[in-house]
Structure 1
Amino acid sequence: MRPTLFEYAGGEQAFLRLAEAHHARCLADPELNHPFSHDYLNPEHASRLAAYWAEVMGGPPRFTEECSDQSSLLRMHAGNGDISDLGRRFVECFAAAADDAGLPADPEFRGTLRAYMEWAVADVLAYGSRDAVVPADLPIPRWSWDGLQPPPA
C-alpha cells in the first residue's frame, strides 16, 4: 500500500521544516514579506502551519484538535481583494521551500504538493472580496496522491 503524502514527506518534522522554510522565503520575497512581517503574526505560526499541512496530507488531526477548522482558516485570509499575484508568489515560495526543507525530490510527489498549493491558493482567493462570506464548519481538506479527496461521510 502506498504511504500517505504525510508519511512519504517524512512526518511531522518534515512539515515543520517546510513551514519554517516557507515562512523564511515569504519574508525574503519583496511582495510577500509585508503580511509575514507583522507583529500580530502568531509566534506559533510555523508550527500551526506545519500541523495544518500535515493534516491535509494525511497526518494526524492536530490542527483540527488544537487550532480550528477550514472555515476559520479561510476567514483569517478572506476579504483581502485581488491578491492573485501574491498567490502565485506564495506557490513559488512553497515549491522552493520543499527543496530547502529537504523533502523528497520525487517528481510525482513534488507535482502533487504543487497541485495542492495551487488549489489551496485558489480556495483562499475565492473569498477575496471584501464582502466574502465563508461557510461555517468546513472540514480540513484532505489531499492524496490523487488530489483532493471527498470529505468523509
Structure 2
Amino acid sequence: MPTLYEWAGGEETFKRLTSIFYGRVVNDPILQPVFGAMAQDHPQRVAWALAEILGGPQTYTRQRGGHRQLISAHLHRHLSEQQRARWVSLLIETADEIGLPSDAEFRAAFVSYIEWGSRVALSVSQYDGEIPKDLDPMPRWDWIIPPPNEAPQTR
C-alpha cells in the first residue's frame, strides 16, 4: 500500500504545495503578521516536515532535528484560533488548486493531520515552558481508511 506521501505525488508535490501556499500567506491579512518575516527556506522546511509525517523520507529530522525542533519553532508565537483556522483553510485551498488527490480516503487522512498539527502548533504557541529534550520522534500519519487499489484520478 502506498504511503500518503507517495499517493500525493512525492517530494515535488510537497515543494510545490508549500511554495505556492507561503507565497500567498505573506499577503494574507490574517497570516501576514505571523509569516511576513519568515526565513526564505521556510516553505522548504515545511515541505520536508509534511513529507516526513505523511510517510516520506526523514529529511526534516536529518536537516532540522526532528519533532523537538518542529515543536520548538512554534513556542512563544501566541497564535490565535483565527490564524490557525485561516492557515488550515488556505493550505487546503492550495492543495485543491495544485491537484493534490481529492479521493475521500486521502483527503480524510491529509485534513486530519493538518487539523491535528495546527491545533498542536496553536497550543504550543501559548506555552511558556521548555520543550522536553526526549520528545517523541516525528509523528507518522497514515491512512484512516485504506485507499482503493487504483491510482488517484486527479493530480
Note if 1:141 corresponds to 2:139. Answer: yes
Name the residue aligned to 1:75. 72
TM-score, structure 2 normalization? 0.84
% identical aligned pairs:
35
Name the residue aligned to 2:33. 34
CA deviations over 1:86-119 (Å, ceiling 9, x no partner): 1111110111110222211212212221110110
Name the residue aligned to 2:98. 101
Q: CA 1:134–1:10 in 2, change beyond 3 Å: closer, same or farther?
A: same
**Which whole-Å CA distance do the structure 2 matches of 1:27 and 1:127 have between them?**
22
Superposed counterparts of 1:4-153, under 5 Å? 4-38=3-37, 41-81=38-78, 83-129=80-126, 131-138=128-135, 139-146=137-144
**Which whole-Å CA distance do the structure 1 matches of 2:97 and 2:27 have between them?**
14
User: How many residues are treated as equivalent by the alignment?
Assistant: 144
TM-score, structure 1 normalization? 0.85
Unaligned runs of 5+ in 2: 146-155
**Which whole-Å CA distance do the structure 2 matches of 1:88 and 1:142 have between them?**
22
Q: CA 1:44–1:128 in 2, change beyond 3 Å: closer, same or farther?
A: closer
Deviant stretches of 4+, over 3 Å:
none
The Cα of 1:82 is off from its aligned counterpart by 5.1
The Cα of 1:7 is off from its aligned counterpart by 0.3
**What is the letter of the counterpart of residue 48 of structure 1?**
R
**Which whole-Å CA distance do the structure 2 matches of 1:146 and 1:111 have between them?**
7
Q: What is the root-mean-square deviation of aligned Cα atoms in Å?
A: 1.7
Question: Are the aligned partners of 1:70 and 1:137 in contact in 2 as well (CA < 8 Å)?
Answer: no
CA deviations over 1:63-84 (Å, ceiling 9, x no partner): 1111121111211211233511
